Every structure is written in structure tokens, then in C-alpha cells.
Amino acid sequence: MNNSVSGSPEELEQAAQVLESSADYRVLRRLVPRDDFGVRPSGTLLKGAIVDTETTGTDPATDRIIELCVLVFEYSAETGEVAWVSDVYDGLEDPRIAIPPQSTAIHGITDEMVSGEAIDDEAVEGLLDGVNWVVAHNAAFDRPLLERRLPIFAQLNWLCSMKEVPWSDLGFPGTKLEYLATERGFFYEGHRSEIDCRALLEVLRVPLPGKDHSPWQLLLAAGPRRSYKLWALGAPFETKDQLKARGYRWDGERRTWYKLLDHDEAAAEAQWLRETIYAGRSHKVEVEVLEAATRYSARRGRIAYRDL
């Protein structure tokens, strides 16, 4: 018996729509990369850049980039609507070390593919000229890698589409890009830089179900906000379990506990430290101010001290 499905694209789309009309089926369409989204916004157009890297491993402090994509798109300054992709760079780079097999198993990039290859620094810098925001789906991973390899990335404002879009509040319990794509109705073969960038742009640009705004518009609204890293300097060793339960993380290099906070959480958290960790004793904590220019970077933000 022949189980293959044939038909013109129009016939297949009609079949998909029939299935979608039933609550018993969901249909995923393959992502077809395109540069023009049919939007012609009036007013000022600004530039954003989605970046994605493939690497030798998962440690941004020690691993190396073997592929980089920079996808530049233009959007309305007034509404945030994404109009089109204006330029794309995708290049391989020889890391000068063997690519671990477990990494190749994920992205499919081999030593032979990158031998003698190098990212074109000048081309990347040209694409980034005039870009207002750089977006990555895990900026805490990509930004330190890219700043070390291409210092121009340290001069730009960054957004993280994984952390700064409130996916859970929007009804998306997961944040992996492949999951978000399926929830948005499409699938793609991921783990190569350009297709990952294009998939992220599709996830971000389309309005949310039942809403008149898109995740990209929410991300733009979140970008200018400040956040804070509160360092619990000199916290007694015996309070480590309380700090961990409260959401603090241990920085092995500084040997200090810290917590990431929004602006409206800082005062209450400082009070909790004073009462619970320092037992009411006067103490000084360090507050690191994080803005779009330093957020997710290995570089530290502006430092202030607060007496408790």
C-alpha cells in the first residue's frame, strides 16, 4: 500500500486547513525563509540584528565560535512592526582545535567544514552599523563569546528573547526555540546559525494569539529597563541554604552569593538580607546596575554600594 501524500502546494494547504478546522488536529508548516513580510510601515525605520553562534561547546568562557550568523531586519520605530530582512551574514571559523564529537552531533559542523575558514570581521562590523538592538535567544551565552571574538559587540545594546519575553505569562511553559516555533505553528531543522536566526525572527514578529502585539514589541518595551545584581558580600557560611532557596547564585570567582532583580524588587530584597542573613547587623552590600549596554556581558555593570 502506498502511504505517500502527493498534490500541489495549493491542494496540500487545503488539506491542512481541513485538519486545522478540527480540534483533534494541529498542523505544523515547514518554515520557508523569506526576507519580505509584506509590511509597509510608515514613519521611521530602525534596525535590529538577530545573532546566533554554533560553538565547540557550552562554556562561553572557554569555548570557541565555529559559525556566526548576523541577520539584520528593519522595523517601525512607532509600532515595532517588522518589515523585512535587509542583510544576512553567515560564516564559519576554524577554532584551531578539534571540534568535540558531542558538539558535532548537535550542529553537524565538522573539522573538515571549518578548516581554513574565518569570520569576516569587516563584513560583520559593516552589517552592525546603525543597529539599535542585538537579539539572541540566550544572550548570556552568545554575548560573552562574541565580545571576546568581535569587540564591536561590546558597544551595542542587547536583548535576550529567552529571558526578557514573559513566555510563561503568555501561556508558553517552555522557552526553547524549537518549542516556541511549534507553538507558533511551524517547524524547521535547527542548530545551524542562519536557520535559527530566521526561526527566531518568525517567533518574535507575529502577533500573539488573541493579542494586538507581538513578542518583539514586548521585547522592545523591556529593553530600556534597568535590572540589578545584588551581591551579598560577607554573607555567613551557615546562611548558604537560605540564600540558595531565595534564588541566589554562587559566583565561584568572587566567592560571593548574588541575585538578579528588577527595579521594584531591590528595596524589599535588601531588607530581607538585613533581617535574615545579617541578623539585623549593619552591613554593606554591592549593587551592580545592569543596562542594555552591559546586561549579559562578562563585563561588569556600574557598581554602587548600599548600607543595610
* Grid coordinates belonging to 73: 531586519
What residues does 122 pair with on adjacent strands?
none
Domain coordinates in residue numbering, the chain: 26-222, 227-307
Buried b (16+ CB within 10 A) or exposed e, 3-19: eeeeeeeeeeeeeeeee
* Grid coordinates belonging to 7: 498534490
227-307 to CATH, choices 3.10.450, 3.30.2000, 3.30.70, 1.10.3470: 3.30.70
Topology (CATH) of 26-222: Nucleotidyltransferase; domain 5 (3.30.420)
Averaged pLDDT score across all residues of the chain: 92
- Under a CB-based contact definition with an 8 Å cutoff, are residues 74 and 45 in contact? yes
What residues does 288 pair with on adjacent strands?
229, 303
Identity of the highest mean pLDDT range in 6-10, 17-21, 224-228: 224-228
pLDDT for 304 equals 84
- Under a CB-based contact definition with an 8 Å cutoff, are residues 87 and 51 in contact? no
pLDDT in tens, 79-100: 999 999 999 999 999 999 999 9
Cell numbers 548600599 correspond to what residue?
306
Is the pLDDT score of 6 beyond 80? no
Which comes out higher in pLDDT, residue 286 or 2?
286
- Measured between its terminal Cα atoms, the distance across the chain in Å is 76
Q: 77-81, 105-109, 165-169, 266-270: which has the minimum mean pLDDT? A: 266-270
Q: 65-74, 132-141, 178-187, 299-308: which has the minimum mean pLDDT? A: 299-308
Kindly give the interhelix angle for 215-222 and 193-205, rounded to the nearest 10 degrees: 90
